Structure 1
Amino acid sequence: AAVGGGEGGEALPTIFVVTPTYARPVQKAELVRLSQTLLHVPSLHWLVVEDSAAPTPLVGGLLASSGLSYTHLYAPTPPGKRNRALRWLRETRRPGESGVVYFADDDNTYSLRLFQEMRSTRGVSVWPVGLVGGLRFERPLVEGGRVVGFHTAWKPERPFPLDMAGFAVGLPLLLAHPGARFDPEAERGYLESSLLGGLVTPAQLEPKADNCTQVLVWHTRTEKPKLRQEEQLQREGRGSDPHIEV
């Protein structure tokens, strides 16, 4: 694993942001956008896990020039990527060490306030996610400061009907449960529940974002670029210079 990056903010619990990524035309653009959001967050360590058999120069170069504290990992398959990050945390962090773990996909949109909200996570904290599950937003329902249900329409029977962007885990809790992980065989929509079920019950969730009434993260999607002209030029041997990174 390659490690590098900035210093500072040591008085705050570190937020470990886990970002799985895979090769596609918009990969670098997505990672640049996310990295420049994360630059505004103090005491943060970015764990970028590539879906590949080895680290790529594109991602490695981006991380090296990002100005962030980071670790560059790689693993095949999406659940494998997040579990690879969990393994790194268990191998490198001390039991009881303060910190927060957040799974931030590279195509979502994040308010800086979200990171302020999650910083005080003790167990598992939760908040709404915008533009997800076929709804304007999904969110935990809160009464008396406790989560009592979920506003969701897609597979509401899930034990934890949460999007990956809708929760964070306290590092001490994660380290205290060495068997907690994402189940690679989980049914679609149950990946989050496969991890959270090994850590907490729904009643133990910690609502953030004004009792889960503020949307601070959005499940945005970048349009897939249309590269038909590029493909035509490549067939003619006149494609764009492959040595220029996009």
Structure 2
Amino acid sequence: MASIRRTLSPYNDRSYPNGSSNPFSVQSPSQKLLSHGRTTFSPVRRFITGIFLQKHYSRKSNQFSWKKSLIRCFLFFFLGFLLGMAPFNNDFNELKQDDLRNRDFSFEMKPAVVNVEKNVGDIGFVEKPKENDLMVDAVELGVVERRDRNEIKRILDFLPRKQLIVVTPTYNRALQAYYLNRLGQVLRLVRPPVLWIVVEMNAASMETAEILRNMGIMYRHLVCMKNSTDVKDRGVHQRNTAIEHIERHRLDGIVYFADDDNIYSLELFESIREISRFGTWPVGMLAQSKNKAILEGPVCNGSQVIGWHTNEKSKRLRRFHVDMSGFAFNSTILWDPKRWHRPTSDPIRQLDTVKEGFQETTFIEQIVEDERQMEGIPPGCYRIMNWHLHIESRELLYPKGWMLQKNLHVVTPSN
């Protein structure tokens, strides 16, 4: 067989036209990149170029470097993992199609379609929404009841209730604590706002103040400083003290004179909130002989006052036959005369110079001109909502102090 032997070139020592002894001394493009990388490339580009163009052989020996290959393999795997996790394609396509700077954002709430299922007895049916029902025209606050497919709409009433200003004159006597507690317990059941003005003569007693503090309602404890020796009717001056307080502080509400020894119903206090200017109603009371009950107050045709109930001949000359606990009025009449077109701006007060029993009619004449400016409560004036009972005896002994644990030996006679 023929054999071919490759002999060494006899031109080892020969020089080449390019002036180097290395036949492969012509610089390749990669070598040119490496030679110019230090001066022209940025640090990032030098790093990438060094990874791809670095030799796989160590400088010290011509052996293959496994350590550097593993590092490069791990680096490429990590870069590929990051590129795979980033959704570049979809985001770039959306950015190309719609520019975020020119995009209009709208927040729109569309009502969801709900199937309402109702059961009537043992038969069930489903109401499907109609096309027109999907449109929401307006939103209105209210309570809607559905009964037998008939919608009854009740709009909530957010109007505030009128304040009640209850004026009570009181004085030290045997049953004072009982009367104040009884009236206070009734006022606690009345829906607020309620202001209880309690007026005493000469000085405020600690016992009355304690009752008011423990009652749990809003109150004001006043003192009438009128000289008791010149007083003909104590209650007149005590009420005038409360009227002056309302006028000075411009309290807005319905004023009602409620004596502590009368009996009142809750319906009365709820009814007088509807008074515009002046309201009146019939009052049941015992006659002086205490053997029969009489009625005193208005005769009404609906809410219009057309007459008066009276049974006493001595009081027939009165203009208005009303008991002190049988009327109420708007407090703005006291301190805002222009609103009610009063002919004079003189202060409204109860008079102590008139005969007993005429304080009511002389006071009402300062508030209204005639029955046309009155309101009958309730409509028709057919119900008695409070009683004026003269059952307290003047011969009762007043025990020392309000607590009776130490005064059990005291005997109080009764008629």
Same fold (TM over 0.5): yes
* Higher relative contact order structure (alpha carbons within 8 Å, sequence separation ≥ 6): 1
Aligned to 1:241: 406
- Report the secondary structure of 2:307's partner residue: strand
Aligned to 1:7: none
Between the aligned partners of 2:246 and 2:287, the Cα distance in structure 1 is 30
1:139 Cα shift? Answer: 2.5
Aligned to 2:362: 194
1:189 Cα shift? Answer: 0.8
Between the aligned partners of 1:13 and 1:79, the Cα distance in structure 2 is 26
Aligned-pair identity (%): 33
1:174 Cα shift? Answer: 2.6
Structure 2 unaligned segments of length 5 or more: list them: 1-158, 227-233, 338-345, 408-415
Provide the aligned length of Structure 1 versus Structure 2.
223
The counterpart of 2:199, out of the listed 28, 33, 49, is 49
Contact 1:39–1:68 (8 Å) recurs in 2: yes
Out of 115-124 and 132-141, give the one that drifted further. 132-141
Aligned to 1:210: 379
Matched, 1:175 2:335: yes
Between the aligned partners of 1:29 and 1:128, the Cα distance in structure 2 is 25
1:202 Cα shift? Answer: 3.0
1:127 Cα shift? Answer: 0.5
Between the aligned partners of 1:227 and 1:102, the Cα distance in structure 2 is 29
Aligned to 1:130: 284
Contact 1:133–1:152 (8 Å) recurs in 2: no
The counterpart of 1:31, out of the listed 177, 180, 185, is 180
Greater fraction strand: 1
Between the aligned partners of 2:196 and 2:284, the Cα distance in structure 1 is 23
Contact 2:250–2:332 (8 Å) recurs in 1: no
1:225 Cα shift? Answer: 8.7
Between the aligned partners of 2:370 and 2:270, the Cα distance in structure 1 is 23
When residues 227 and 160 of structure 1 are mapped into structure 2, their CA distance, relative to the original with a 3 A threshold, is: closer
Contact 2:263–2:386 (8 Å) recurs in 1: yes
Q: Which amino acid aligns with 1:207?
A: G
1:191 Cα shift? Answer: 0.6
* Alignment map for 1:1-246 (pairs within 5 Å): 11-42=160-191, 43-50=193-200, 52-75=201-224, 76=226, 77-93=234-250, 97=252, 99-132=253-286, 135-143=293-301, 145-154=303-312, 155-177=315-337, 179-203=347-371, 204-224=373-393, 241=406
Between the aligned partners of 1:104 and 1:156, the Cα distance in structure 2 is 24
Q: TM-score, normalised by structure 2?
A: 0.50
Q: Which amino acid aligns with 2:317?
A: E
- Report the secondary structure of 1:210's partner residue: coil
